[in-house]
Amino acid sequence: MRDQFGRQEFANQISAQLHNIQLRLTRLEEKVEASTGSMKQEFLRQVSMLNRNVNRLQLFAPRQRVVGGGGGGQQEQHEAPVRTNARLSARPKDLHSLWTEYTHGLGGLKAARDFTPVERGREKRKYSKRKVFWDVIAKLVDAGWTAPAAVDLIYQVYGRHVSVTTILVVMLRDRKHYNGLPNPRLRVIPPAPGRQ
């Protein structure tokens, strides 16, 4: 009987230990599920941040030039291929993209600053509307501003939550109002003579 009682007690102890192990495993499974959910959220946040940074870095990417190959000479002048990628994007999502379109091109399209007069003529309406923005940014960059800082200055002047089209229209209106010059808050003031 004592032997049977010892076996029963041993079985109860084993059963209690198995129950404790099972409870711990259940808790661990819950923790793992909870941490994978937060890890997934963190991963998505990091990917989103990475995408934004890549879009901003496009502003500084080296430009690609398409060089025509061939035998050179007179024949090349007369048979220059017509580039189908010399177009402006339909709706740039923000002013940073608009500047990238000018300097490097968007979506495999040719950079707007490399357009020939004929290509500019084909895109005359869009090009002339956007040129006022490109000219202001180019002057600010020449004066020592970084391109992203210059774009942010334009957002400060015209509003961050205003559409690209509205900003361009107001910039055109300002240029007419200020006799061909941009808004006074966007002008580059040269240093006074004798000061550097």
The answer to whether residues 97 and 136 belong to one domain is: yes
Q: Select from 41, 57, 73 the last residue of a domain.
A: 57
The answer to whether residues 98 and 35 belong to one domain is: no
Q: What is the DSSP string of 46-102?
A: HHHHHHHHHHHHGGGSPPP-----S--HHHHHHTPPPPTT----S--SSHHHHHHHH
Q: What is the DSSP string of 21-51?
A: HHHHHHHHHHHHHHHHHHHHHHHHHHHHHHH
79: its two tokens: 């048979």
Quick check: is 195 in a domain? Answer: no
Interatomic CA distance for residues 44 and 46, integer angstroms: 5
pLDDT digits (tens, 9 = 90+) for 24-72: 888 888 888 777 777 777 777 777 777 777 766 665 555 555 555 555 5
Our count of domains for the chain comes to: 2
The answer to whether residues 96 and 13 belong to one domain is: no
- What is the mean predicted confidence (pLDDT) over 94-105? 91
Interatomic CA distance for residues 183 and 109, integer angstroms: 30
pLDDT at 59: 59
pLDDT at 154: 93
Quick check: is 194 in a domain? Answer: no
Residue 83 scores a pLDDT above 70: no
| Nearby residues of 47 by Cβ (< 8 Å), 6 or more positions away | none
Which range marks the domain in which residue 109 is found?
83-186
Give percent above pLDDT 70 in the chain.
80
The answer to whether residues 92 and 127 belong to one domain is: yes
Quick check: is 196 in a domain? Answer: no
The DSSP letter of residue 106 is: S
Give percent above pLDDT 90 in the chain.
32
Residue 193 scores a pLDDT above 80: no
The answer to whether residues 53 and 124 belong to one domain is: no
The answer to whether residues 93 and 162 belong to one domain is: yes
The answer to whether residues 89 and 13 belong to one domain is: no
Quick check: is 69 in a domain? Answer: no
- What is the mean predicted confidence (pLDDT) over 140-158? 91
Residue 79 scores a pLDDT above 50: no
88: its two tokens: 């402006």
Please state whether the predicted TM-score (pTM) of the whole model is above 0.75.
no
Quick check: is 131 in a domain? Answer: yes
The answer to whether residues 87 and 165 belong to one domain is: yes
Quick check: is 93 in a domain? Answer: yes
